[in-house]
Amino acid sequence: SQKIEQNSEALNIQEGKTATLTCNYTNYSPAYLQWYRQDPGRGPVFLLLIRENEKEKRKERLKVTFDTTLKQSLFHITASQPADSATYLCALPHSGSARQLTFGSGTQLTVLP
Amino acid sequence: GAVVSQHPSRVICKSGTSVKIECRSLDFQATTMFWYRQFPKKSLMLMATSNEGSKATYEQGVEKDKFLINHASLTLSTLTVTSAHPEDSSFYICSAILQGSRTEAFFGQGTRLTVV
């Protein structure tokens, strides 16, 4: 069955630095991959979608890469700010149903002032 | 972006009682909604897929008689936790996906259920 791993449960970085989060997956070749942000006690909020034929995608200070050979996506936040502190989840379409999503366990990012 | 509203955001109930959680798509029609459960520092676990006008599809290990799902209209799905027990305490989240080429999911605010 498909498996998603977000390597770091928690990541602390200094304000202004670039945060890099990793999402690895196995037993699957998804057509796309998504990243979400979740704040405590709230539902996830969609950030970016990257398709299998896209190597990189950017949105303001966010950058996502998608390496289908390595089966890995990297999520970067440049010039990080304390307001970026949250849990970030990667998600893949379910192998059995494209309308369902399977989520990684998330990485809790803390940006220190 | 599309808005999904979930209500209530927090609920405390006594063991043995039932609790209903509502999930509404405010500015779009959602033929399919999803219900998740999330434990502290864990990922979202899909419980069931709610289909408008038909029975929900439950994931393996999720008791359909325990977690009743009703999707009576294109903008409302409800999850009822029946005969709640303390182990049902959790964070429940619903989501809906826009039709068409966009595949991003829009989530409700979540409901923190505490059973005492």
Instruction: Identify the pLDDT of residue A99.
Output: 72
DSSP state of A16: T
**Res B105 pLDDT > 90:** no
Residue type at A89 in one-letter notation: L
How confident is the model over A22-28, as a mean pLDDT? 92
A30-86 confidence digits (pLDDT tens): 889 999 999 999 999 999 999 999 989 999 999 999 999 999 999 999 999 999 999
Exposure string over B82-100, b if 16+ CB within 10 A, otherwise e: eebeeebbbbbbbbbbbee
**Res B100 pLDDT > 90:** no
Residues of A in contact with B1 (CB under 8 A): 46
* Peptide bond preceding A30 in cis form (omega within 30 of 0): no
How confident is the model over B43-68, as a mean pLDDT? 91
Six token digits for residue A66: 């998608």
B57-94 confidence digits (pLDDT tens): 999 999 999 999 998 888 899 999 999 999 999 999 99
Six token digits for residue B100: 């068409």
**Res B102 pLDDT > 60:** no
Q: Give the closest-approach CA distance of A84 to chain B in angstroms.
A: 18
B3-37 confidence digits (pLDDT tens): 899 999 999 999 999 999 999 999 888 888 999 99
- Which sign, positive or negative, has the C-alpha torsion B16, B49, A4, A75? negative
**Res B114 pLDDT > 70:** yes
CA distance B75 to B98: 12
Instruction: Identify the pLDDT of residue B31.
Output: 80
Q: Do B93 and A44 touch (CB under 8 A)?
A: yes
Gyration radius (Cα) of chain A, Å = 13
Q: Are B105 and A45 in contact (CB under 8 A)?
A: no
Strands (E), A2-85: 3-6, 10-14, 19-26, 32-38, 45-51, 56-59, 62-67, 72-77
Instruction: Identify the pLDDT of residue B52.
Output: 82
Phi and psi at residue A62, to the nearest 5°: -100, 140
Q: Do B104 and A34 touch (CB under 8 A)?
A: yes
Six token digits for residue B102: 């966009």
Residues of B in contact with A46 (CB under 8 A): 1, 104-106
- Which sign, positive or negative, has the C-alpha torsion A32, A38, A42, A47? negative
A76-103 confidence digits (pLDDT tens): 999 999 999 999 999 998 776 667 888 9
CA distance B7 to B10: 8
pLDDT grade, residue B99 (50/70/90)?
A: low
DSSP state of B60: T
Minimum-distance CB partner of B49 among A32, A91, A100: A100
User: Cβ of B55: how many Cβ atoms within 10 Å?
Assistant: 12
CA dihedral B94, B77, A97, A33 (to 10 degrees): -30
Residue B104: exposure state from Cβ atoms within 10 A (0-12, 13-18, ≥19): buried
The per-type count for chain A, helices as H runs and strands as E runs, is 0, 11
**Is A32 an interface residue toward B (CB < 8 Å)?**
yes
